[in-house]
Structure 1
């Protein structure tokens, strides 16, 4: 799944690239006007100014549109929250992919437009004989740097098609009319060799530039992932520190309150007191146990889970460890094929079973009373010696709203009633799953309820 931070990192390069391309195209507009003016006023070569200036004006107008699009996209992202380190719903993944696709198409359209504009300028100024024909290579190189490989090849092929057309159709200029590349010159070895050389050079430039740009983009993506992992580790470390500090500071007063409550309950048995007072004392003891349980879960989820060693464990043992420790195991239906039940892997038994237990309990809490939660387990083979266990948890709740889908996994975010949850279960569970190289995602079912899919990679034992 993909975080808001990932979504931003997908769109942000298109923004910076569009701004850079806008500035570069303004330089091109100024350069075109300078060349046209110099040729007409200084070199005194007559040129058809109306179509040439119209093409330059078209470039300027499209550049204004590109700048407006880039600024609007930047403003929209600036006003959307960035939650680096948290995964979102599958809808955000689709949105991120859509943003990336739209950005690539916009930049491709601009560069193709520039190729067509350059072809038009060259058409009115000598065609293939014009030495500014080499500026096709600039467009090809830029496309290779900023576009995906397939779209960069579109720009390259369009450039080759433009040159092929200019070698046949263009307005000649007397100064360069004797060139073997003039459109009125007959086709011969010179024209054919030039076209082959241009096409070959275009392919070579596109291949190597896209390859290098792809490697750079991949490295940037890996750096972004590493940064998110660093942020996740920092938050987990902070959580572990908080849990340790809270446990240390609260252990003594909680123990004191527990002793006093126990003595009070024992003394009340000697006297006739109202049932309300007895219930209040019992409530105090129950809440004390709840506080201890909260501290224990924070400690085990944030600290002990990270330090637990890997142990050989079968699927049946993992599921048994997970389900039997639940408050309502009778509401959990397990679908575990017999042929994979005894498959074993190296995993942190306690941490992983607690993580799965958190997800199942969330499903039970979201479902109506006495409704069941289905736990489905499947196995897929990965590389030799490795396998992937797929655990699917399906509940009968109301599903996930857009807001919940966007925020699920944030620490201290919960949809439960006050006092019913801390909002740490999914956060700590995700840390455990990601810590062993797995993934976790949530989806709403059309017929109601939520599906949680967990992928657990493990080494075969």
Structure 2
């Protein structure tokens, strides 16, 4: 097997680490029971009624070793696999207890261990199943067991006294199992929720740092472009004054002057947006008018692409509160849709009492699977591969930051961006924003 075909394992898997910890606990418990077996053999010097316990020990040890070997080759395990290992603990320990005195064996309290592990690691439904299995096993061992020589003095204290003692231990176990299953499961759920929230915050910080880096780069680039644009503008004006140029050359120079003027206008808008965003200034506008303004502004710069705007909402359109980065985010989605080679782009505006949705759909090849997967993950995609990348893919000359910026803008405004491939083809990018009352 060459290096390319070898299975790739993650450097660290929490589920596998938990499984190995469980196997280590089981191995320690088995060593304890092996010590008990060795002590009985040393004291009584007889193997009578010890074969069942010895066979149970060997079988459980073989399962433990096999599970440990399997854990070294597995990439990850699910909840069902971990639950199965806990049930092996319950069933294997039940066999050991049956052949070593049943409920009279002081090691009967080991049933608490798989229960605590399940409460800390598994969802509550699995924990309740482990608790039910442990209580059932303990209850059966009160009446069905093989007497064990080491614990016969305890049994010889009297049938009534021994029964009351065993029954008291059973009630104590039942009470402990109930408390552990209920409260530990709740505490573990709270800890997992806190960990997930902290992870979301950390990823938000990373994403915001990423956006800040892009914004800093854009601001520096805009400042540096001012000088060459000014130089090209002067050269174009000088060329326009050359009497030896033909009509076609003058038309080309005039077109170049228009494009240079557009570039300077874009840089001025970028500087103005940075100042407004830094001041925290926002404006309010009806959703349909905002979308119409963005589409008209964009269509003037992409005349070769047909763009249709359709308002689906009923009644007066609600307002949205936004800064200048939101129209840029919409234009990013429009640019990405047009960059797929689509001849037509459809924009829809819809709303309800709580949200406003602006959809941008193209009739291109659809978003690649890795781009869709990236949108469903926590971290947003920074780039998209392949020539068919569209509303989530290549923007700004192939830099692949269009969706990243649009998503960050939407989240900063309290909304989100969703990407999907409709069944009838193309790609649909939907920007959803909180709605404000139309008369607010």
User: Normalization by structure 2: what TM-score?
Assistant: 0.80
Structure 1 spans left out of the alignment, 5+ residues? 1-7, 74-101, 381-386
> How far apart in 2 are the matches of 1:452 and 1:280?
37
CA contact (8 A) 1:261 1:284 kept: yes
Name the counterpart of 2:311: 335
Q: Alpha carbons of 1:186 and 1:410: their partners in 2 closer, same or farther (altered >3 Å)?
A: same
Residue 290 (structure 2) pairs with residue 315 (structure 1):
no
> How far apart in 2 are the matches of 1:132 and 1:295?
77
Mean Cα deviation higher: 402-411 or 220-229: 402-411
> How far apart in 1 are the matches of 2:237 and 2:31?
86
Name the counterpart of 1:378: 351
Name the counterpart of 2:428: 451
More RCO (CA 8 Å, sep 6+): 1
1:292-351 superposed Cα distances (whole Å, 9 cap, x missing partner): 577568767888557543333322333233323221596223233232x33234x21432
Name the counterpart of 2:366: 399
1:12-39 superposed Cα distances (whole Å, 9 cap, x missing partner): 4324433443444444444444443344
Mean Cα deviation higher: 111-120 or 300-309: 300-309
Alignment of 1:265-284 (within 5 A): 266-268=240-242, 270-273=243-246, 275=248, 277=249, 281=253
Name the counterpart of 1:225: 200
User: Normalization by structure 1: what TM-score?
Assistant: 0.76
> How far apart in 2 are the matches of 1:239 and 1:355?
14
CA contact (8 A) 1:437 1:457 kept: yes
Mean Cα deviation higher: 36-45 or 231-240: 36-45
Alignment of 1:33-112 (within 5 A): 33-41=34-42, 46=47, 47-48=50-51, 49-69=54-74, 72-73=75-76, 103-112=78-87
- Structure 1 residue 458 displacement after superposition: 4.8
Structure 2 spans left out of the alignment, 5+ residues? 1-8
Q: Secondary structure at the match of 1:391?
A: strand
1:114-172 superposed Cα distances (whole Å, 9 cap, x missing partner): 11111121122111111101111111111111112222222111111211222232222
Structure label with greater radius of gyration: 2
- Across the two proteins, how many residue pairs are aligned to each other? 410
> How far apart in 2 are the matches of 1:38 and 1:178?
15
1:75-106 superposed Cα distances (whole Å, 9 cap, x missing partner): xxxxxxxxxxxxxxxxxxxxxxxxxxx62222
CA contact (8 A) 1:333 1:375 kept: yes
Name the counterpart of 1:81: none
Q: Secondary structure at the match of 2:424?
A: coil
Q: Alpha carbons of 1:344 and 1:122: their partners in 2 closer, same or farther (altered >3 Å)?
A: same
